[in-house]
Structure 1
């Protein structure tokens, strides 16, 4: 695969009939659910799952998605979605990049950037990342040259 950046965290996806819209391709909203799924699985791999978020009364909440839809996905397509944490101020904000690829032809279907803000779950207000977030997410931040 021709990933934009080295060593992505990757999940496999299959486009199902329920993902298809009236235009005959995967609906744009489905792509957003795939981004969320990929980010969650990466967080879980880093030891930061929903139970840990609740224990810490903190979460990384989406504040901005920037998505470039480059090509359509169709029913029964097998896809791979990669993500990288590319920036973290280790206080409030963190940014992920995503790339969705179709291995069959090597096409990149989507590129996205998502900005997250650390919030306190009990209040919904922005709060500093706890040490567990810095320890978990920090080493995963890709050092871009």
Structure 2
């Protein structure tokens, strides 16, 4: 499976995000990743799929490169790498201009919204995100 086209999500830093060291607390990055991944899902999935499914994080592997500060303009770039069974595997990079602040690899589990049990997405929904094998990706 080819990865998805990049999805860009603007991040707004709030005063409460700043910790005692004067920069964004590391835990806030998880909130940003979740917001960016959910935004990606809600923008590309058909409305009926958004209504029928929820996502929960199963794993995040975060590499922090540089701190973020209150006045920074940040963007999270989200790429869906693959979907296997009920799991979606994402790469998210948080940047300030050309500087990479954090790199996140995450696994998400799709849940049926009514039962809250793991659910596989239909191939037609997955196709909204991932190009067919052999198809080039525009950047």
Structure 2 unaligned segments of length 5 or more: list them: none
Alpha-carbon contact 1:14-1:76 (below 8 Å) kept: no
Matches within 5 A, 1:2-81: 7-48=5-46, 52-54=49-51, 56=52, 58-81=53-76
More deviation, 116-125/24-33: 116-125
Task: Pick 1 or 2: higher relative contact order, CA cutoff 8 A, min separation 6.
Answer: 2
Aligned Cα RMSD in Å?
A: 2.8
C-alpha distance in 2 between matches for 1:28 and 1:22: 12
What is the count of residue pairs matched by the alignment? 134
- How far 1:69 sits from its partner (Å)? 1.1
C-alpha distance in 2 between matches for 1:108 and 1:140: 29
- How far 1:134 sits from its partner (Å)? 2.2
Alpha-carbon contact 1:86-1:143 (below 8 Å) kept: no
- Give the SS at the match of 1:137: coil
- Give the SS at the match of 2:130: helix
What corresponds to 1:110 in structure 2?
A: 102
Structure 1 unaligned segments of length 5 or more: list them: none
